[in-house]
Structure formats: structure tokens, C-alpha cells
Structure 1
Amino acid sequence: MSEPALLHWTDGEQTGSARWRSEAGVPPPKRVVLADDRMTADAAYRHACEGTALLWRGDFQNARQLLQALARRADRKPRKAAATPTEAFHLHRQAQAQRARTLGMLLIPFDADHSIPLRRAPDVQQACLEAYGPAQEAYVASLRELLGLIGAHEWRKKGVEIPALRGRIHPHYGVFSPVRGEYVDLVARAPLPAGDLAFDIGTGTGVLAAVLARRGVARVVATDQDPRALACARDNLERLGLAARVELVQADLFPDGRAHLLVCNPPWVPARPSSPLEHAVYDPDGRMLRGFLDGAAAHLAPGGEAWLVLSDLAEHLGLRSREELLAAFERAGLRVVARLDIRPRHPRATDTSDPLHAARSKEVTSLWRLAAVGA
């Protein structure tokens, strides 16, 4: 087991260090200065842009205000004009990454019980416990990451209303929330093939497995390779009273055997994620999409269907063509039975200030009903 990463700093002639935490896998900053309520936003932004982290020793609420000030300065940076949708996407991702690096330079100390030893600090112990598990020692993490933990904790408590389930799904930290309900709606209304067994590939919160069980599928096997997702799905299925109908299996894609229905909602965009949560949106080289298609025919029971739920945003961004997708079906020995389409309802689809608005305004999410060639 590798040694935990350490953050080092100096305080006058004294040196200090603490364990470094980063859910995104960001290495500890090499340069650190101590900062408190006397630090101006302009000075803090200059340090952050130069790659120097600020270990906060002042009032916690003032640190939150400083982070907001840093965000305003980062968002004022002029954006380079893009000649194509693909260039717009890559420039947008670069800007997002730079913004994340800059805002991630404001650091907060934590004691070994996840409490924050700063004035006016909130009680974040439960939020940190849900995300990090028990702590063995004091540590340092970015304030931006902490605010993400707090937001995830609130989502977990409140849950997301899913009309197709007549209930709520409670996403855990690091598990993508089903806030884009159109893909759930597609699975809720597509005609079910005959049969009593379904596989839900990459179950996440368990929402699609729950929808299939609620629709009357006698048995669902739901897979995911992320232990957090499996714990989240188990919690949601128990809340919904569906745990007896759904078996959860830790696997990369398919479980053993064949099923009458295979369902997969892979990440939509073939690009590299920059944080654990982005694995639900960005799929490097379309690995999960290809893996599902290539393995589908071998896991379909006779007369069964594979349902691929996929946004065409990548097509409008020039990252994948419709012809490439159809060719992938053909190579996998699959034919299209039918396709159900739905327009996204999320706010970005109509936000003209979004750098990717031209692509998002054309986006359609589809459920492709696929069957094995010759079946």
C-alpha cells in the first residue's frame, strides 16, 4: 500500500505537514502559504493562478466568501473564440480544468474526527464520513471539494423525485444523480420484451434497475464496478422495497449468463474525466459504450433486446458520428429494432450563455432497441 500523500508548509521558521485528501486524485500543491482574514481576493487569486495554495487559518465563512471572489475572477477571464463545435468543447474543458485548479488552491484543515478547527465552521462530520469514511488523522482538503461533499450530503438526505418510481432516489457522494430524468422516462415507457430476467449494466444509483423491477420484471441483476455505486443502489432499492427483486453484482460490465433484456446508459461523451463524478458523463475512447455493444449479443437470451440509452451530444460536438455508432452496432452483431427519442429538459439546453449551447440546443437522448442479428 502506498504512503498517504502529505502537504507541507512553513510558518515562520517552523515547518508543518498534514495528510492530503483529494477525491479527484489531485496531487498536493508544492507551494503553500498560510492565509487568513487579512488576505485580499486579488492577492489570493494571484497566488492561486501561480500554483501557490492557501492554507486557511482564519474565519471559515470568510474563506467561503473568498472562494466566491476567486470564482468571479476566474469567470471573468476572456474565452477564446472557437471555429468548430469540437474546438469549442476542448476549449471549454480546458477552461473548466483551469478554473478547478485555481479554485482548488484554497485549503481547509480538518481534525481527525472530520471537524474543522476554524472560527464559525459548520458541522461537516457526517458529510465527510459519507464521502471519506472514518479518518485516522488530521488532514487538509480544498474548500471547493468540501462544498461538493456538503452538497452531496444534502442531495443524499433530500433525494431526487422519480415519477416513474413514485418515489425518490438518494444519490451518494461520488455517484451521479439522476437529475436528467429523460433517460429514466425512456426506460419507463419502452415496450418490454418477453422474459423474466434483465441486466442493468453500470447501475449507479440503481434507478434503472428499480424502474425495471417496478415495471414487473421478475428479476434484475444490476452491475457496477464502483463499490460506492453498489452501496448507493442497495440503499435506494431497500428504501423502495425492491431489494428482493434486484441482485447487485460488482463487475466491469456484464454478469455471468444471458438475459432477456440488457439495459445500459453509458457516459455520453468520449473524453477523459477529470474527477470521479465525471466518469458518469465522460468515457475515454468510448470504452464502456464499446464494451456493452461488443458483449451484448453473447449475453442476450433468444428473442431478447439490448437497450442502449445514449445522448447524441457527442455527435453535435464532432466527437463521434452517427455513422460510427451504427457501424459499432453492426460490428457487434446487433440490429436496430426501434428507437425512442426524447429532448432534454435540463436548463443547459436553453442557456444561450453556455459555451456549448450550439450543440446542446440540438441534443436528443435516444433509447436504441437492439437485437442480435438473425434473432
Structure 2
Amino acid sequence: MSAFPTLHWTDHHGQTCSARWRSESGVPAPRRVMQVDDQTPADTAYRLACEGTALLWQGDFHNGRQLLQALARRMDKRAAAGRRTSSREAPTGPAQAFHLHRKRQAERARTLGMLLIPVSAGHLIPLRRAPDVALACQEAYGEAQEDYVIALRELQGLIGAHEWRKKGVPVPALGAAIHPHYGVFSPVRGEYLDLMKQAPLPAALAPNSRAYDIGTGTGVLAAILAQRGVQHVVATDMAPRALACAHDNLSRLGLTAQVTLQQTDLFPPGQVPLIVCNPPWVPARPNSSVEQAVYDPDSQMLKGFLAGLASHLSAGGEGWLILSDLAEHLGLRSREDLLQWIDQAGLQVAGRLDIRPRHGKAYDPQDPLHAARAAEVTSLWRLTPKPVAGP
């Protein structure tokens, strides 16, 4: 906790108080903090939050949740009014629509993140009717030996992640559930997992049944490979949380004997007949740890995977790249770019399996990115090294 900055504020009695500031998304500590409670009008709280004053809640916990909902309603109302009356920010293309959408999301997150909750050592909330969040916080943060302050929205995220971790996410392609940890991307979109189940395994696996899963996350792709009969999978990730999550899931599934976890950037040493990777699909800057599974600045992980793939494939091997074309429909990356990177990496396309998304946003005309989502296709690209030209 000593690595976190300290917040200072004055209580209702004029006494100076302090506690550590905690934000998993890296939001800087607010400069101005004032105590608010059940007597604070929602309009006042909204004005202060918009002005950049953080509101440290001291009232009933459930009333604090209601205040957060009231702030969200005011933000939505103002945003809707702004879209009706102003055309200055009207997007002229899909890329601008995407960036405007993310800008509004960031503004909303910043304002709603101004409502703070005090947490005592041991992850206890010293408020009336506060829930027991000790286990949810411990799963995400570890032990807490001193008091700290977090945004109520982040606390809600911790609680939600804890529930997902308990219940699990059903994965039909696996015939089981995956239990995501806080900060690790959940495999809620099952269509790309169906592609993993359907793709024909390379013949080169028969004499050498080994594979790599690059950027394993929850471990779901490694688990599918193991279930399909691959005898040894090395699953890599840079994030300790992801590796802990993958170990938990593989243990639940009884697959730890087949899958070895390794903390490394992209590839482990050696060559294998099959390497799979599901990199972040959208080339943009993530705003939080969990967004790192969705947003890949300048397609760095995608380019890194393609650049190193050929040298890590054994004879007759394949690399499976699982990628949505949403970025293409948003104007953030072209198909020509992708094909050029594949070619420059000394690779060729041996085949491709496509599938349409099944999530609700693809069919919601009110979604700001509906046109791109409706056209989206997720593909499993089967890549092989290009033949070496003869003398």
C-alpha cells in the first residue's frame, strides 16, 4: 500500500483526515475531496463531481449506491440533450464515431468515479448497511493492513468480478465453465471459442503433440486444445493475475498435467506444430487493466505475434490467429494492413474460418457503433510459413 498516494480531506468537525488512494485503472488521486452524506442533494453532488471535486461518502451504503445511479441519470440526460442540440462533434466517419464514443465513455467514468467509499484495514466498509466485501477485495488486491479509499464504481466492479468468479462463465465449446478473476478478460463471446473447437488440427501434431497459447488470459484456449487431445500446451502471459486465473481454471478442469503456465512476453523458446493467439482486437489505448484484452495500441501484440510466429513453428506447423474485423469496420485498421503484416512476417494464409457475433450489441440499433458491430466477422486465420524459394 505504500506505493499508493495519500488522500487528505477535512471532516465535518474540521479535523484533517487521510487515507491511501487506490485505483486499479490508474486514475490519479483527486486533488479536492469533501465529505458528503444522505443529506447531500443529488444536483449538488453532480455539480461538484463535474467540477472535479471528489465526494467521500459518509452516509448509508445503499443510499450511496442510489446517489451513484442519480449521477448516472443526470449524465445520460445531459449527453442525450447534447447530441440533439449540437452538431459540432457529429462524427464524419466510423473512426471518429469510435473515438467520440470512447471520449464520452471516459468522461462518464471520470465523473461517476468521483463518488468515493472509505475502506478500513481488512477490507471493511465503515458505513451503515455496507455489504461484506472483504473476500471480493482480497481476491483483487490481496491483504490490506491500512485504510484506503476507492471509487464506488470500482468497488461495484470488484463485487461483480467476485460473483463471476464464483458462478463462472459457461463455455459450450469447452463443455464447462471458466471462472474469470478480477482484471482478467472474461470469455463472454463464445463464437471465437467455437472456431477453436472446429478448426482442423495440423497433421504435424500427430508425432509431436505440443502447442503454445500466447496471451492465455483465463486459460480457455489452452483448455480447449488440451480437451482436443494436445498432450502438452505451454500457455504464456505477462500478467500475474492472468496466470493465477489460468491456473485456477486448469485445476478445476483437471488439465494441469497437460498445460504448463509461463510468464513471458509472447513466445516461449522452442518450436511446436501449433501456436494459437487471440490478441486484443482493437488498436487503441486501454484505459484500465481489463481493457488490455480488448485494446492493443498500434496493434503491437498482433504485430509481435506475426513477426515471431514463423521462427517458432516446427515443420508442417500452423499458427492460429483469432481476430475480429471490427477494427476494419471502424476504420482503425485495414484488411490490407493485416495481409501486409502477414506477408512481411514470411507467412501465408492456409485457410480461414469465419463466424458472426452473437452478442446483443450487434443487433442493437441504439448502440453508437451499431453499423460496425452489425458487419463484424470473427475469423480464425490458419497461418503457415511461406515456402523457401529454391536456388
TM-based fold match above 0.5: yes
Residue in 1 that maps onto 2:146 = 137
- 1:177 counterpart = 2:190: no
Residue in 1 that maps onto 2:24 = 23
- Distance (Å, rounded) in 1 between the aligned partners of 2:287 and 2:272: 34
Residue in 1 that maps onto 2:112 = 103
Residue in 1 that maps onto 2:95 = 86
- Distance (Å, rounded) in 2 between the aligned partners of 1:6 and 1:30: 10
Look up the SS of the partner of 1:228 in the other structure.
helix
The alpha-carbon deviation at position 75 of structure 1 amounts to 1.6
- Distance (Å, rounded) in 2 between the aligned partners of 1:207 and 1:146: 26
Deviations 1:188-220 (A, max 9, x none): 110000211110000000000000000001110
Give the TM-score normalised by the residue count of structure 2: 0.95
Is the alpha carbon distance of 1:2 and 1:330 closer, same or farther for their aligned partners in structure 2, counting shifts above 3 Å? farther
- 1:150 counterpart = 2:159: yes
Higher deviation after alignment, 101-110 or 7-16: 7-16
- 1:370 counterpart = 2:383: yes
Residue in 1 that maps onto 2:64 = 63
Residue in 2 that maps onto 1:231 = 244
- 1:269 counterpart = 2:282: yes
Deviations 1:150-173 (A, max 9, x none): 000000000011112211100000
Residue in 2 that maps onto 1:287 = 300
Look up the SS of the partner of 1:164 in the other structure.
coil
- Distance (Å, rounded) in 2 between the aligned partners of 1:31 and 1:309: 45
Residue in 2 that maps onto 1:10 = 10
- Distance (Å, rounded) in 2 between the aligned partners of 1:312 and 1:167: 28
- 1:306 counterpart = 2:319: yes
Look up the SS of the partner of 1:120 in the other structure.
coil
What stretches of structure 1 of length at least 5 have no aligned partner? none
Deviations 1:101-152 (A, max 9, x none): 0000000001101010000000000000000000010110000000000000
Alignment counterpart, residue 337 of structure 1, candidates 350, 361, 367? 350
- Distance (Å, rounded) in 1 between the aligned partners of 2:96 and 2:174: 40
Look up the SS of the partner of 1:304 in the other structure.
strand
- Distance (Å, rounded) in 2 between the aligned partners of 1:348 and 1:81: 21
Residue in 1 that maps onto 2:51 = 50
Look up the SS of the partner of 1:294 in the other structure.
helix
Look up the SS of the partner of 1:29 in the other structure.
coil
Q: Which runs of 4+ in 1 moved over 4 A?
A: none
Residue in 2 that maps onto 1:358 = 371
Look up the SS of the partner of 1:141 in the other structure.
strand
Q: Identity percentage over the alignment?
A: 70
Cα RMSD over matched residues?
1.0
Give the TM-score normalised by the residue count of structure 1: 0.99
Letter in 1 for 2:344: R
Residue in 1 that maps onto 2:257 = 244
Alignment counterpart, residue 331 of structure 2, candidates 318, 327, 330? 318
**1:183-202 superposed matches below 5 A:** 183-194=192-203, 195=205, 196-202=209-215
- Distance (Å, rounded) in 2 between the aligned partners of 1:169 and 1:277: 16
The alpha-carbon deviation at position 83 of structure 1 amounts to 1.2
The alpha-carbon deviation at position 41 of structure 1 amounts to 1.1
- Distance (Å, rounded) in 2 between the aligned partners of 1:333 and 1:166: 36
**1:204-219 superposed matches below 5 A:** 204-219=217-232
- Distance (Å, rounded) in 1 between the aligned partners of 2:339 and 2:151: 43
Higher deviation after alignment, 79-88 or 96-105: 79-88
Deviations 1:294-320 (A, max 9, x none): 000010011000000000000000000
- Distance (Å, rounded) in 2 between the aligned partners of 1:269 and 1:373: 27
The alpha-carbon deviation at position 73 of structure 1 amounts to 1.2
- Distance (Å, rounded) in 1 between the aligned partners of 2:362 and 2:187: 16
How many residues of Structure 1 are paired with residues of Structure 2 in the alignment? 375
- Distance (Å, rounded) in 2 between the aligned partners of 1:75 and 1:185: 36
Deviations 1:245-264 (A, max 9, x none): 00000011001101100100
